[in-house]
Amino acid sequence: MSGFNKVVNSYEEAMAGLEDGMTVIAGGFGLCGIPENLIAQIKKMGTKELTFVSNNCGVDDFGLGILLVDRQIKKMISSYVGENALFEKQLLAGELEVELTPQGTLAEKMRAGGAGIPAFYTATGYGTPVGDGKEVREFNGRKYIMEESITGDFAIVKGWKADTYGNVVYRDTAQNFNPMAATAGKITVVEVEEIVQPGELKPTEIHTPGIYVNRVIKGSFEKRIEQRTVRQG
Amino acid sequence: MSGFNKVVNSYEEAMAGLEDGMTVIAGGFGLCGIPENLIAQIKKMGTKELTFVSNNCGVDDFGLGILLVDRQIKKMISSYVGENALFEKQLLAGELEVELTPQGTLAEKMRAGGAGIPAFYTATGYGTPVGDGKEVREFNGRKYIMEESITGDFAIVKGWKADTYGNVVYRDTAQNFNPMAATAGKITVVEVEEIVQPGELKPTEIHTPGIYVNRVIKGSFEKRIEQRTVRQG
Amino acid sequence: MALSREQIAQRIARELEDGFYVNLGIGIPTLVANYIPDGIEVMLQSENGLLGMGPFPTEDEIDADMINAGKQTVTAATGASIFSSAESFAMIRGGHVDLTVLGAFEVDVNGNIASWMIPGKLIKGMGGAMDLVAGADNIIVTMTHASKHGESKLLTNCTLPLTGAGCIKKVLTDLAFLEIKDGAFHLKERAPGVSVEEIIEKTEGKLIVPDHVPEMTFA
Amino acid sequence: MALSREQIAQRIARELEDGFYVNLGIGIPTLVANYIPDGIEVMLQSENGLLGMGPFPTEDEIDADMINAGKQTVTAATGASIFSSAESFAMIRGGHVDLTVLGAFEVDVNGNIASWMIPGKLIKGMGGAMDLVAGADNIIVTMTHASKHGESKLLTNCTLPLTGAGCIKKVLTDLAFLEIKDGAFHLKERAPGVSVEEIIEKTEGKLIVPDHVPEMTFA
């Protein structure tokens, strides 16, 4: 099935077509389950004026944070940012725009974007600055705000295993925002730890069906840990 | 963990609390993945004036169709009905009300109901009788209608395996509407083919987390086939 | 001569491209799966929650938990995925399916389609058809060009309640292949031995006929 | 004497019921997990996508792919499930979590809460807090009763931008346990050795004080 073989062999090919000014949706929560090599490729490409939709913006030298150095990011749509000094500096200098979005609303906006739902109502953020300027509507005596969906020119995703058709499974809590991101990109690129043959992943255990995925690449990952906490063994 | 043991040992216990006039959301597509013994229990209880939210209404002598005999169903919210003679008769006699809802909208209404989203927009049904009386709104130059979510007093669900905490996995296409139904009931009852101990289901492969499930019961199933189609082996 | 069911399926199959995800409706559309051209691979989506529908099962393989949207027993192809109906319609509504093929009672010059409801007859429901026509960009509607009584089904305005508004761009009838744009049907191909005059006669909606209308050929 | 962090956690733990699904915010709320009463089992939800959070890992068990909402390495408890963040917030927004515990800067007599933004300071974001307070019916806010400068954090009207409107019913401070209803704080319990007068003095919003205010006891 050559038509369904999504595997690409270089990161250049994986991110081909990314242009200045595009919107990129990125999976990951903190530094967990982030498409670290796809991000590194964007740094290498030097693409500018990018809008990123991602729950966080990495740290100074890892994750999306590395794109701050050459000011590749114009705008972040995130729920929690600022784990890095450069981010703060660019934000205060007005070189970087941030649209803070509640975490659950952000996840749902991505899902809705992929699912052809242009907007939905949520009680989250009603009566807060998040609700400012948004339509308020009452259902069953409670007030909700309307939130619009998000799609991206690209989605960059970190999976655990994928088959060559682009069916993906995620490992543990590295799943996080990745499945929604995968549905919401015009071009969805998934990097994984292992590529397997079609049929090796059980059909009912696939988290992201291949229909959402355009390119798959095998990478090797640092998987940096943000808060190493242990108990005595 | 007694507090998380959701297992009940009789169908009486499984459906305890169901009262006349309640709304019940039922999983299943056609006769596939339907909670057949929970339906049989409702027939036995003789509960009346029920509203069912279910993609279909079974056949004359199986599935929700068996509840027509004693006129237990007041209203069906479905995408496709009428595979049974009694259904047609009661509908034409005005003894049964039907609210036809597009299949994808129905699935999404259940999901939204469970997810605290009171309404969403979809292009499905715009310009058709389904859109009559519903709010129309334009996003990016296209027209959409507003659809409200659905919740039920009960949700009845057919799973394959559940652990005692109510974590559920579904088998093949018997999944269908079951995961959404499971999220949308005030009381969610799941009948399964096998009950296992917590820890036996892999955390990332659970389709319905136990937080949605109130009662689990092991049943035995006829699993009738509606359209038996074969090829020569 | 009007196309047979099999010829309709064959002609539709020529619209397939390698790597297409395709949803085939009940009836003639289902037959398309039998005519997939050599060198082309497609994946069939079944809206109950299966991507990668395989052939019907053998007697030994029959499994009540494996059905398609037509409620027929099926198998899963290699590389299939199985998911909930909400996920399935997220794919459909979100425009991820490359081609949708379905039947209809009527279509009109504005791309409206009526396929689910005949007032006065028992109404069974729209199933997934409204989601499919609203979600797909690339849809082929297949139906007979006219009713048994000779009444055109390609209209200026649909007379039956709609399944979807302004969403149909391609129609294959037993007589012709047509595209819909700018408020008209555009005749693209005719069935072997069917005259342009017959198509004009049986098309009630505005029809644009080019100088040359190629005849379909079948092996 | 004002409650210690550990005593605050202990007191909150008394609100737990057997079979509760609980979301514990970062900071003091996390400590509640250490004081779950005997005979009671709860499951901890972590909003990145884990239901059934276990203890921190040993050095050998550390896994970069297993973290909690505080981005700390964790383990999964027996019977845990792991899912996407959309599914996680479907649970939260849909009201399926039985108890949510989180910190705040201010609460007021109308159940408003401010916990994420101090104008003029760098704003890092609300994370999941707005979803948590909007989705839960049963929330305990924990914070110091007054600032270091003695300014009350239990107000007539929150002065900081809100995290949620009208959603808080229970507050545990270092001085007292209070319920919010009918536009007032209702004093329910006081910390050992803390006088009702001190609580009155440090509560800016309307405070209802019953004749008898029991003192909390700790083992």
The pLDDT score that the predictor gives to residue B233 is 65
Chain B segment 188-207 residues within 8 A of D by beta carbon are: 198-199, 203-204, 206
pLDDT digits (tens, 9 = 90+) for A66-122: 999 999 999 999 999 988 889 989 988 999 999 999 999 999 999 999 999 999 999
b vs e for A196-205, b when ≥16 Cβ sit within 10 Å of the residue's Cβ?
Answer: eebbebebbe
- pLDDT by residue for chain B (233 residues), tens only, comes to 468 999 999 999 999 999 999 999 999 999 999 999 999 999 999 999 999 999 999 999 999 999 999 999 999 999 999 888 899 899 989 999 999 999 999 999 999 999 999 999 999 999 999 999 999 999 999 999 999 999 999 999 999 999 999 999 999 999 999 999 999 999 999 999 999 999 999 999 999 999 999 999 999 999 999 999 999 76
Q: What is the mean pLDDT of residues C39-66?
A: 96
Contact, B86 vs B95, CB < 8 A?
no
Spatial strand order in the sheet of D106-108: D113-114, D106-108, D154-155
Q: Which of B81, B123, B172 sits opposite C63 (nearest CB)?
A: B172
Location of structure tokens 């981010």? A87
Rounded mean pLDDT, A133-160: 98
CB B167 within 8 A of CB B197: no
Residue B204 lies in a domain: yes
Chains in contact with B, counting 3 or more C-beta pairs less than 8 Å apart as contact: A, C, D
User: From the list C68, C74, C128, which residue is nearest B103 (CB)?
Assistant: C128
Residue A14 maps to a domain? no
Q: Between B4, B116, B210, which is nearest D93 by CB? A: B116
Please report the pLDDT score of residue A233 as a whole number.
65
User: Is A226 part of a structural domain of the chain?
Assistant: no
Query: What domain count does chain A have?
Result: 1
Lowest-pLDDT range of A22-36, C69-83, D97-111, D117-131: D117-131
Sheet of D207-208: strand order equals: D76-82, D50-53, D42-46, D20-24, D99-103, D139-143, D170-173, D176-181, D184-190, D207-208
Interface confidence, given as ipTM, is 0.97
Is D35 strand, coil or helix? helix
Chain A hits for D163, Cβ within 8 Å: 128
Q: Does residue A65 belong to any structural domain of this protein?
A: yes
Q: What is the CATH number of the domain that holds B208?
A: 3.40.1080.10
Nearest to D18 by CA among D5, D34, D36, D30: D36
Per-residue pLDDT of D16-26, as tens digits, reads 999 999 999 98
CB B180 within 8 Å of CB B112: no
Contact B148 A170 (CB under 8 A): no
Report pLDDT for A85: 87
Q: Return mean pLDDT, chain D.
A: 96
- Region A181-185 average pLDDT: 98
Q: What is the pLDDT of residue A82?
A: 80
Q: C touches D (3+ CB pairs < 8 Å)? A: no
Mean pLDDT, range C29-56, rounded to an integer: 94
CB contact under 8 A, A2 and C41: yes
Residue B161, H or E segment: strand B161-163
CA A1 to chain C, closest CA, distance in angstroms equals 6
How near does any CA of chain D get to the CA of B216, in Å? 15
pLDDT on residue B1: 43
Percent of chain D with pLDDT over 90: 94
B chain contacts of residue C66, beta-carbon cutoff 8 Å: 172-173
**C97 chain-A contacts, CB cut-off 8 A:** 211
A168 touches chain B (CB under 8 A): no
- The pLDDT score that the predictor gives to residue A92 is 87
D132 to chain A: nearest residue by CA?
A124
Residue in A4, A161, A212 to test binding to C, most C beta-carbons within 10 Å: A4
Is A11 within a domain?
A: no
User: Quick check: pTM over 0.90?
Assistant: yes
Contact: A211, C96; criterion CB under 8 Å: yes
Q: How far apart are the first and last CA of chain C?
A: 15
Interface check for B144 against chain A (CB to CB < 8 A): the answer is yes
CA C24 – CA C46 distance, rounded (Å): 8
> Which residue in A has a C-alpha nearest to residue B118's C-alpha?
A121
Residues of A with CB below 8 A from B172's CB?
203-204
Residue of chain B whose Cα is closest to the Cα of C115: B128
User: Which residues of chain C are within 8 Å of residue B103 when distances are taken between CB atoms?
Assistant: 47, 85, 89, 126-128, 131
- Does residue A115 form part of some domain? no
Whether A228 is covered by a domain: the verdict is: no
How confident is the model at residue A83, as a pLDDT? 83
**Cβ–Cβ under 8 Å, residues B193 and B226:** no
Give the residue among B14, B28, B71 at the shortest CA–CA distance from B175.
B28
Q: Is B228 on the interface with C (CB under 8 A)?
A: yes
* Residue range of the domain that includes B44: 21-100+151-218
**How many C-beta atoms surround the C-beta of residue A230 within 10 A?**
15
Longest dimension (CA), chain A: 55
- Subunits with 3+ Cβ pairs within 8 Å of A are B, C, D
Residue B137 lies inside a defined structural domain of this protein: no
Are C199 and C187 contacting, i.e. CB atoms less than 8 angstroms apart?
yes
C65: pLDDT strictly greater than 80: yes
Euclidean distance between CA atoms C213 and C211, whole angstroms: 7
pLDDT of amino acid B84: 85
Tell me the chain B residues in contact with residue C82 when contact means C-beta distances shorter than 8 Å: 172-173, 175
Residue D7 is predicted with a pLDDT of 96
pLDDT, tens digit, for every residue of C106-143?
Answer: 999 999 999 999 998 878 999 999 999 999 999 999 99
Looking at residue A1, its pLDDT comes to: 43
In whole angstroms, give the CA distance from residue A111 to residue D85: 10
- Alpha-carbon gap: D173 to the closest alpha carbon of chain B (Å): 29
Looking at residue B88, its pLDDT comes to 87
Confidence of residue C27 (pLDDT cuts 50, 70, 90): confident
